[in-house]
Structure 1
Amino acid sequence: MYRKELYVFDRDRPVPAVIRSYEERDFPGLIRIQQESFPPPFPSELWWNREQLSNHVAMFPEGALCIEVDGEIAGSMTGLRVDFDPDHPDHTWEEVTDHGYIRNHNPSGNTLYVVDIGVRPAYRKLGLGKWLMSSMYEVVVHSGLERLLGGGRMPGYHKQAAEMTAEQYLNAVVKGELKDPVITFLLRCGRTPLKVVENYLDDEESCHYGTLMEWKNPFFNPRSGQGE
């Protein structure tokens, strides 16, 4: 089980926080995070339900993290292990996460795949998403995995879709010519883009595209197949 105590900052004021593995008692708070983080037009049927959350806790508790601020649950991040082949990268979110139920979790997989990350809007000025991401990097290193991987939404793309392809939009974000709420955040967290995937997620704002973004374990030893 994971637990880390730290301070986050509301401007210059330190605020106590805890990042830890989430449990059944947290399920109502986790569902509220989804509802507040992904309002319409994001499909409400993609918000967590109790069966999905139960699977996360039972099948891969190391990949089920939440963050509390002053005792209030404010954000969460969930992952599973998969065996990723960079030569065949294309997939959809539903395929790789089993529609969020993670029954396809592979305890021997080489990659920690991000199922979801969300922070309640009232807490976003505290940098909680970056703290959750760095904590999941620690899980990758501790588990000796090759990488962290996930498909980033591109919610700003619908505003540019008439003028550019999804690949052109990603390149503009990477060059700093455009800013995307999700892709720019992932770049700030140290993730790097692999490729754009069509029909990755039912998401009108992203025109159903997603960008595969990875973080490679700097301690991974390809000769031994695990972290040193």
Structure 2
Amino acid sequence: MSETVEIRQLTAEDYIDLKESMLRAYPDMAGSYWREPTLRRLIDIFPEGQIAIAVNEKVVGCALSIIVDYEKYGDDHTYEQITGYYTFNTHDIKGDVLYGIEVFVHPDFRGKRLARRLYDARKNLCERLNLRGIVAGGRIPNYEKFADQLTPRDYIEKVRDKEIYDPTLTFQFSNDFLVKKILKNYLPNDEASRGFATLLQWYNIYYEKDIDTVRYNKSTVRIGLVQWQMRDYAGLEGFLQQVEYFIDAVSDYGSDFVVFPELFNAPLMAEFSQMDSAKAIRGVAQYTEEIRDWFVSKSVAYNVNIITGSMPILIEDALYNISYLCRRDGTFEHYIKIHPTPSEVYAWGIKGGNELKTFDTDCGKIGIQICYDVEFPEPSRILAEEGMQILFVPFLTDTQHAFNRVRFCAQARAIENECYVAIAGCVGNLPKVNNMDLQYAQSAVLTPSDFAFPVTGVKADATTNTEMVVIADVDLVLLKELHAFGSVQTKKDIRKDLYEVKWKK
């Protein structure tokens, strides 16, 4: 006969089965079992926090919990204090932490992953209630065998390193719990643990503090990339008309971001074709602030955040390559390309910027790098450490070799930093503009490489060398899951004890 397993809320009618299971689960703690009035009180106070597991309709284990305002108790507390001396008057529906006060499974039913089901159910409850995490005091019942040779700290480290097996702590480690602290006299009558316990914590990666219902961070973000055709636009007015066409089109798809390429306003250099290229690009730079202000107005009018590609700008007579984030609330910030290419320096005299930071938006935290910047892994790592979820890379490349450098490096940045990378480039040619003859591009939205993402690591891409838009949805929740549960976790596993990346400025 096959077994049936059910996870459900515990009821007072389950007490007889539960008592039998508890007595068998704790043979080394005689008399330490839940009394029926105490259990009824707990169920009355917080019914959904009391989880039972039944095999063939017989309750063989449970996970019991309360919600607490953790700051009131901190990390130095005993079991009696956190439970209000078993009155559970410490339960606070406005609290921020789910406190685990009990988990056990009848020994005859161990080895069936029932405890893992209880833990998963408790984690799901924590996420559903939007609590910061789960905290619990954990026994170390095998410690009595090693107490003469090892301190509690040494014992815990050896269990973590799988040199020693502990039936409770080993299981906690396998369920993503971290040891915050060693507690003394947490359960004074726990002789097997010699009175010691581990203060365990599991973090809810979906927790949102003080959610603002008006301005909120979306979980699914729609990105629109403009693969821009270089052509003669007959001046600034014609150029802006074409830009607005794309903003309008991408906005109609409900996009949260529209992204333009690097130096996509280079067609305006045709106006200065009688000058050498260094003077011509400085001529175009005079339009940059006007174009920026125009972008700001359009981001509000079309309700879309705009990454303005990049444009040349003169700052105190020095020439830079600048990109703007124009938010749909009317605010804007800028990023200056840090690494000008050798040809930018030689032909135009462009200088590199000295600032790097992430930008907050209503769709998460983003970063901007311009073309050559993405070929250097260190700045992207710094942005990732600051919480960047999407990296936008406007680029301009003339040959397939140059494009592949950008594309492959952008893909690497997505994998190593566990983020999305959106690249947008120019296509076509400008025969009347020196140093801007040919363009090669395939714009794309790139992803990390794990089961939740496309096997190619490409969410969407454009047809090579064709003017078009690319629309793609990216799920920020998948990034949180990747950080916590990915097959590999490059952000978490970096060996900071050996090396680190620092920003010197």
Check if 1:20 corresponds to 2:8: yes
Q: 1:223, 1:100 → 2: CA distance?
A: 31
Q: Which residue of 2 aligns with 1:160?
A: 146
Q: Given residue 212 of structure 1, which amino acid in structure 2 is its aligned partner? A: L
Provide the C-alpha distance between the structure 2 equivalents of 1:34 and 1:205, rounded to a whole number of angstroms. 17
Q: Tell me the CA shift for residue 14 of structure 1.
A: 6.5
- Mean CA deviation greater in 16-25 or 100-109: 100-109
Which residue of the partner structure matches residue 195 of structure 2? 208
- Secondary structure of 2:150's counterpart equals coil
Q: Does 1:184 align with 2:170?
A: yes
SS at match of 1:116: strand
Structure 1, gaps ≥5 residues long: 1-12
Larger radius of gyration: 2
Structure-to-structure mapping, 1:68-107, within 5 angstroms: 68-85=54-71, 88-107=74-93
CA–CA distance in 2 between the matches of 1:87 and 1:93?
11
Kept in 2, the 8 Å contact 1:79–1:115? The answer is: yes
Determine the C-alpha separation between the residues in 2 that align with 1:178 and 1:14: 35
Distance in structure 2 (CA, Å) of the matches to 1:62 and 1:70 = 22
**How far, CA to CA, are the matches of 1:163 and 1:84 in structure 2?**
34
Instruction: Identify the match of residue 49 of structure 1 among 23, 30, 35.
Output: 35
Q: Deviations over 1:140-174 (max 9, x none)?
A: 00100000110110001111111111111111111
- Corresponding residue SS for 1:207: coil
Partner amino acid, structure 2, of 1:36:
R
The reply to whether residue 60 of structure 1 matches residue 46 of structure 2 is yes
**SS of aligned partner of 1:203:** coil
Provide the residue aligned with 1:32 in structure 2: 20
1:133 and 1:79, CA in 2 relative to 1: closer, same or farther beyond 3 A? same
Deviations 1:4-35 (A, max 9, x none): xxxxxxxxx97321111111111111111211
For normalisation by structure 1, the TM-score amounts to 0.88
Aligned mate of 1:129, from 95, 115, 130: 115
Q: Secondary structure at the match of 2:194?
A: coil
Q: CA deviation at 1:88?
A: 3.3
* Shift in Å, 1:177: 1.4
Q: When the two structures are superposed, what TM-score results if normalisation uses the length of structure 2?
A: 0.40
Q: Which moved more, 1:191-200 or 1:96-105?
A: 96-105
Following the alignment from structure 1 to structure 2, what is the Cα–Cα distance between the partners of residues 104 and 116?
16
- Between 1:126-135 and 1:167-176, the stretch displaced more is 167-176
Q: Distance in 1 between matches of 2:77 and 2:49?
A: 20
The alignment covers a number of residue pairs equal to: 212
Q: 1: CA distance between counterparts of 2:123 and 2:140? A: 22
Residue of structure 1 equivalent to 2:429: none
SS of the aligned residue for 2:195 comes to coil
Greater relative contact order (CA < 8 Å, ≥ 6 in sequence): 1
Q: How far has the Cα of 1:73 moved from its partner?
A: 1.1
Per mean C-alpha deviation after superposition, the further-off stretch among 214-223 and 114-123 is 214-223
Is contact 2:73-2:82 (8 Å) kept? no
CA distance in 2, matches of 1:19, 1:103: 26
Question: Which protein is richer in strand relative to its size?
Answer: 1
Taking only the aligned residue pairs, the percentage that are identical comes to 27
Contact kept, 8 Å, 2:136 with 2:201, in 1: the verdict is: yes
Residue by residue, what CA displacement relative to the aligned partner does 1:17-62 show, whole Å, maximum 9, x if unpaired?
Answer: 111111111111111121111113x141x31001111111100011
Q: Secondary structure at the match of 1:27?
A: helix
Which one of 113, 129, 133 corresponds to residue 147 of structure 1? Answer: 133
Partner Cα separation in structure 2 for residue 101 and residue 68 of structure 1: 27
1:101 is displaced (CA, Å) by: 3.6
Alpha-carbon deviation of 1:222?
3.5
Q: Is contact 2:69–2:96 with CA below 8 Å preserved after alignment?
A: yes
Post-superposition Cα deviations, 1:73-107, rounded to whole Å, max 9, x if no partner, equal: 11111000111139931111111123344232111
